[in-house]
Amino acid sequence: MNSMLTHLRAIFGVLAISLSAVFVRLSGSAPSTSAFFRTAYALPVLYLGWLAMRGRDHRTRRRRWMAVFAGTILGLDLAMWHRAIEDIGTGPATVLGNTQVVLVGVVAWLVLGERPSRSVLWLLPVVLAGVALVGGVGSAQAYGVAPARGAAWGLGTGVAYAGFLLTMRFANAGRTPAIGPLADATLGAAIATLLVGLLDPRFDLRPVWPMHGWLVALALGSQVIGWLLITHALPRLPILETSVLLLLQPIATLMWGRWLFDEQLASGQMIGVILVLAGVSSVSVIGVTRRRERA
């Protein structure tokens, strides 16, 4: 029974975050505006939840500040991802954001000196070729207002998210309720997205309806409920199941984009999507297999 509930939490969490790009596009707001308000609206809810279980949060002040710093990297990730949604659509932008599975190994190599596995080195060119195809290389009918620029933003999203994950690994060492680190990281993301927004002439702080109704749905549905379900459920599942479940997010978002916004990708872009997803899933599965062999 507990295992079934854990799987259901994970599935609902993944489906919730798969709607993130949909809410961003439905809001019709500038990318900098939606990136800021998804964190600003989530902050009070997260910190109220954290106060209710503050006694179980044993992190040091240094680790809490590290989580805030990790959140600033997440803020850059969100700012770039929301630009990618505007330029290339909900589905492709989400697929490209998931390149972090491969790029986290490269970032760890460059920053921490941790040599990536051979699977990352072999599959990185495949993933990058997929990114280029999603960006419209070789296709005159590519979907998106600026597919090449959108692909660049999407790849930047993957790099930033990889940096966020590596930083949070140090900030959240040990067992603590997920809501604490998530609240601190969201605070850092709110600060970063506000600073980015102040540099954008389209940034708008006015609470306009129905724009902000969609942004509240984005903040509460994806940033709060979705991520709390995921951070609770995924550590309790086998790593292979975790990898497969997380791949449901870009696939689901591709379907939402097709059904809701008629996002019809060119054939070359679809091949690129397949290459990216194949590379990401292969790195996840091969990495799991090697860890099990060593164990």
Q: Residue 138: left (phi > 0), alpha (psi -120 to 50), or beta?
A: left
Residue found by looking up tokens 């490209």 in the block: 96
Give residue-wise pLDDT tens across range 132-186.
889 888 677 888 889 999 999 999 998 898 888 888 877 776 667 778 888 999 9
Give buried/exposed letters for 171-207 (b at 16+ CB in 10 A, else e). Answer: bbeeeebbbbbbbbbbbbbbbbbbebbeebeebbeee
User: What is the distance, to the nearest Å, from the Cα of residue 242 to the centroid of all Cα atoms in its chain?
Assistant: 15
Residue 94 has pLDDT above 80, yes or no: yes
Give the per-residue pLDDT at 199.
94
Amino acid sitting at position 191 = I
- 57 contacts: CB under 8 Å, gap ≥ 6: 50, 176, 177, 180
Residue 66 has pLDDT above 60, yes or no: yes
Torsion angle defined by CA atoms of residues 183, 188, 190 and 195, in that order, rounded to the nearest 10 degrees? 180
Distance CA 113, CA 130 (A): 27
List the domain boundaries for the chain: 2-294
Contact 59, 179 (CB under 8 A): no
Give the per-residue pLDDT at 212.
95
Give residue-wise pLDDT tens across range 133-148.
898 886 778 888 899 9
> Reduced to 3 DSSP states, what percent helix, strand and coil does the chain have, rounded to the nearest 5?
80, 0, 20
- Residue 236: CB atoms within 10 A of its CB come to 14
Distance CA 85, CA 83 (A): 5
- Cα Rg of the chain, angstroms: 18
Q: What percent of the chain has pLDDT over 70?
A: 88
Length reported for the chain: 295
Crossing angle for the helix pair 147-171 and 90-97, nearest 10 degrees? 40
Calculate mean pLDDT across residues 107-119. Answer: 70
